[in-house]
Structure 1
Amino acid sequence: MYTITIIAGARPNFMKIAPIIHAIKDAQERGAQLQYRLVHTGQHYDTNMSGSFFEQLQIPEPHVNLECTGGTQAEQTASILVAFEKELLKKPSDLVLVVGDVTSTMACALVAQKLHTKVAHVEAGIRSDDWTMPEEINRLVTDSITNYFFTTSELANANLLKNGVDPNTIFYVGNTMIDTLLKHRPSFKPPALWEQLGLEPQRYMVMTLHRPANVDEESQLKAMIDEIITHSKDLPLIFPVHPRTAKILERLNIKYSRLHCVSPLSYLEFNYLVEHAKAVITDSGGITEEASVMGVPCMTLRDNTERPETITLGTNELVGTNPKHIKPFMDILFKDDWKEGKPIPMWDGKTSKRIVEVLLELHSNGYHED
């Protein structure tokens, strides 16, 4: 029996691992001698991750929650290292599969290698080249100790090759987040605020901001929102906001009748809003992927991105962090002159199937015993 331990540390990780688990179950039904154990490190506490969250997206409940919540970057890393080492010693595995770029990704990869367990990294090779981002450090460290690399783009492949990775260990498979998006798109549903605010398709915008450079510096946050309001015509702005950011907004006395700060939404509700929006304004990498696949104009308030394919092929544009750069992009949007996206190779809903096929092939070839 080939055993795989799958790591999830934050809510988006579950979106990425859910289709992999579905593909594993499909392989099991076909007779594959493959089993998995899902470990939630508990890195991000999220009140929306209730039983209904797992049920809604058909994500299995984790086998264990290590409850490594809170603390500084160093404290959280240390907590995950200690807890996952105990878990892996108690429940040994042939392979540890990590996804994305959160602290859990890096910490669990490190534990696995120290215990002589192979590591596979889903979303390997993506780079922002911005070392001020904790996620970039996590990517670099994880990819330096990974055995098998599952990539979302040719550029990610090139990044890995540039770092001296053996090309035989790189597998260009696509994007598991898009597997989840395409599977659940028919089930998207309007949140309660759709009727409460009288929203109509193409007659509102969605905004998400969470990066410290945008939300922790009060003058920057105020300047960003002021510019967005000034140049967004009369459209309502729907801003699902973290409670900490909400307190900053309140302190700044940022109150516009068109700005609707709402609690975080479920996956199906949030993506319903994105799908029908005039545009999305964000500093999230994952949302740029989803918006591009759904053909929704997207403005990224960052100076760099680890997902350049959303710009070269998708509907995303890199606006930057200077609030004055927002107006030209808004002008293009309201002239109905926004670029049209093209299909992004391998982002076709079949990525997880490809990953499991590779894992089974590696196992049958005895690679895990090298």
Structure 2
Amino acid sequence: MKPAPSRHRLAPAILASVLLHLAVAAWLWLAAPRASSVPSPAPVSAEPNSVELEFIDVPPAAPPLPKEPAASPAPAKRSAARPARRQQPAAPVAESPPPAKPAERQEDRPMAEPGGEDAPRKLVLVPSWPGGVPGAGAPTAEPESRGRTLRPGDPALEPESSAETSERLTARVQDWMDDGAAGARARGIGQHPYFEGVRESLDGALGSAEGGEARDLGIWNPMAGVMKSYTQAAEEYGKTGNPGGAPPPQHPLHSEKVAEIFRHEPAADRLRMQIQARETLEALNNRSPLLTVTLELRLDRSGELVDAKLTDPSGNPLFDAFVLKVVPGALTSLTPPPEEALRGRDVLRTQWMVEGWLYTPQALRESLASLATGTLTLPLGLLMDPSNAALRPRFEYRARLLKVY
């Protein structure tokens, strides 16, 4: 059995630990700031701050007539000397209004002057003064006129007389009646050989004149007519539940015959869908014109054109200019108008609608109809020669008589 360790063997370790702790404590004590070197904060006074309030009675504003207090008796002047000093602040109040008014006008005047183009203008209810704000003793300048003053007895305030009202309403009703009668007259006499000749002359001249093709009129989309008709049909269907257009034919359509033959056989669905798509495109192609313009013609008794003008443009300036350019030359060889159309007048006034129809090529319609089956079939001519004339849209002109006045 080993003997117990002696206490003398642990003494050096204990002594080293004590010396190490004393060295660390001495270093911390030397590094800490001295209490005498750090200034102590000033003691916070706990006493409350005293505030003195002085209440002064302000005299009321000066009365409307400040000269009335001056008429006081002489004996009471000494006894009222003290109150007179207290009322001295009222003197500037009475004199302050005159300079205050020009100051307001001087501030408002730059706002009334036009600034930059993009700077907003402030609404000013006080009229500006030319030549600056008049000073004290200066002659008052007249304010700048910015409108019209209505005074009693002004003709503009007088109500419309019963005779004037009756004349105005009579003229308006007469115009309505004339327009209605002109439309009815056109439907009745429109089949006269004279008007048929005018229509054929307009159609032939517009269709054969140079510069009347679709591309000459700025129309590059061959599907423009079909797209416009589709938009009109969609709008009509949204309003009435019926796409409108031409009435259904009396005989069954090709798609209806196919459906009657094959019934509900799935193998014939693709064929039926393609036929229906072709019929839909054909109906949209002939639904409505792409451009329309209203033309008013005046011809004398000999058949010479007196005046031609547009009363309702089409929205296409090229189309409108082309119609006005061709019409005078198209009506040079007309016969004299019939007497039943003139009705004793020297000038025959008629109103026509010139329509521009854009027809999509048959090959392009067939290609679009093939999309109903899930495939796109492009014509070989379009792939080999995109400038083929057979693939260009056809633009056709039609003139229609609207009114005979």
TM-score scaled by structure 2?
A: 0.17
Which has more strand, going by share of residues?
A: 1
TM-score scaled by structure 1?
A: 0.18
Q: Which has the larger radius of gyration?
A: 2
